[in-house]
Amino acid sequence: METLIPLFFAAVVGFQHAFEADHLVAVSSIVSKRNNTFLAVKDGIFWGLGHTSTILLIGLLILVGKIVMPEQVFSYLEACVGVMLVVLGLYRLFKFFKYRNNHIHLIDEGKNHHLAYSVGMIHGLAGSGAMILLVMTEIKETFDSILYLLIFGFGSIVGMLIAASFFSLPFSKRFANNELIQSILILTSATLCIILGFFVIYENIYG
């Protein structure tokens, strides 16, 4: 019964985890290139899958393989998230200023979700240390620990699915013809990515 309680809350914790600031600004920047809510939702799902796959992989290495990773490693991984956010924001700004007079290039209707999956993987690397420490503190059985990570991952997928669908609404076809609104939203999401990225880098390297 004591094991079932943390397992029950794993999905809730995962759902809440999806709404952390660095996750939200990254996904908002990704879906800003969509005018199709369905594709944006799939971006959210792929982010969650990438996030879960990394946490599960590191969890298996630590919980099953008994590999010890110094705490400092996870600080550097957090800094990598900051670098990713800065690059993501700068890339979005580059695309915006390059194609601002050719609106069609600002929208991506392709079904390739590699970017969302890759961003999710990097976020998973950064968050894996604290998550696995929490699991090891609450649950003693290895199988239950892995199950917790899987349930947590499912919760994060659902959470990011909802977040991606919400952020995609201003970029949907209903608003696509209003270039001023589109431009403001793209610039805002990209700028937030860069600012938060530098903050994360500073906090984990110099903080």
Handedness of CA 86, 76, 120, 16 (dihedral sign): negative
pLDDT at residue 34, rounded to an integer: 74
pLDDT at residue 85, rounded to an integer: 94
pLDDT at residue 87, rounded to an integer: 94
pLDDT at residue 65, rounded to an integer: 79
- Residues of the chain below pLDDT 50: 1
Measured CA to CA in angstroms, residue 188 lies from 15, 47, 110 at distances of 25, 21, 23
Torsion of CA 151, 163, 35, 199, to 10 degrees: -110
Task: Calculate Rg over the CA atoms of the chain.
Answer: 18
Q: Measured over all CA atoms, what is the biggest interatomic distance in the chain, rounded to whole angstroms?
A: 61
pLDDT at residue 117, rounded to an integer: 93
